[in-house]
Amino acid sequence: MLVENAVRPSDEQIKSFFANAGTDQDGPVVMVNLLKFHERAAYPDGRDADISGQEAYMRYGIEVSKLLTKVGGRMVFAAVIDGLMLGKCEELWDQIALVEYPSRAALMEMVMSSEYHAIEFHREAGLAGQLNIGTRVPV
């Protein structure tokens, strides 16, 4: 199994993930976010180089939580990852966050908004990479 952290999805991933957004097959989705932070924030303009990647990401987290509420979403769970009991991977992620959205359409609405685009630079400055795994309850 290949595991590859990324900061942005490919066009193919976006198209596939949002294929049913806004259709009668769309429904609640919980995003599993496995987060790996830069040791130091990596803002393109060099600002705040003395803060950690996690601190930069938390700036994003504070603001994105407001946007989550606007689209009917919510933070379900967040925690520091502190060990691997089963399986193998080269390097563990730093944190996990479970975020629930009422639908993929709501998630798309949030990430396409101008408010989201205004804050995502904190996310990118903080993240070395992540996995986003979309989940839904089977019907």
Query: For the chain, how many structural domains are there in total?
Result: 1
Which residues 6+ apart lie within 8 Å of 124 measured at CB? 7, 42
DSSP state of 39: S
Q: Write down the pTM of the prediction.
A: 0.90
Residue 98 domain flag: yes
Which range of residues forms the domain containing residue 85?
27-135
Taking only the tens place, the pLDDT of each residue in 6-34 is 998 889 999 998 888 888 888 899 999 99
Residue 59 domain flag: yes
Name the β-bridge partners of 99.
Answer: 31, 75
Percent of the chain scoring above 90 in pLDDT: 78
Task: Say how far apart CA 98 and CA 134 lie, in whole Å.
Answer: 10
Per-residue pLDDT averaged across 45-64, rounded? 97
